[in-house]
Amino acid sequence: MSDEKLYELVCHVSNEIFGKDFQHKAYFNKRLRTTGGRYMLRTHHIEVNPLVFEKYGMDELVGVIKHELCHYHLHIEGKGYQHRDADFRELLKKTNAPRFCSTLMERTGRKITKKYTYKCAKCSLLYNRKIQLNTKKYRCGKCYGALLFVSLENMK
Rounded to the nearest 10 degrees, the angle between the axes of helix 58-77 and helix 86-95 is 140
129: in domain: yes
Q: Would you say residue 24 lies in a domain?
A: yes
CATH number at residue 49: 3.30.2010.10
Count of Cβ atoms closer than 10 Å to residue 1 Cβ: 13
Q: 43: closest CA among 66, 23, 20, 13?
A: 23
Rounded to two decimals, the pTM is 0.67
68 part of the active site: yes
Point out the domain boundary residue: 49, 66, 95.
95
Pairing outcome for strands 113-120 and 147-155: antiparallel
Distance, in Å, from the CA atom of 101 to the CA atom of 57, rounded to the nearest integer, reads 12
Question: Is there a single domain that holds both residue 26 and residue 57?
Answer: yes
pLDDT by residue for the chain (156 residues), tens only, comes to 899 999 999 999 999 999 999 999 999 998 988 888 999 999 999 999 998 888 888 999 999 999 999 999 999 999 999 999 999 999 999 999 888 887 776 655 556 677 899 999 999 999 999 889 999 999 999 999 999 999 888 765
Which of 54, 68, 77, 153 is catalytic? The answer is 68
In terms of residue numbers, what domain contains 51?
Answer: 3-95
Is 14 in the same domain as 91? Answer: yes
Number of domains in the chain: 2
Asked whether residue 25 falls in the same domain as residue 87, the answer is yes
- 133 found inside a domain: yes
> For 152, phi and psi rounded to 5 degrees?
-130, 125
| Angle (CA) 110 113 114, round 5° | 160
Looking at the structure, tell me whether residues 16 and 85 fall in a common domain. Answer: yes
Same domain, 134 and 83: no
Tell me the angle at which helices 3-13 and 58-77 cross, rounded to the nearest 10 degrees: 60
Residue 15 sits in the same domain as residue 55: yes
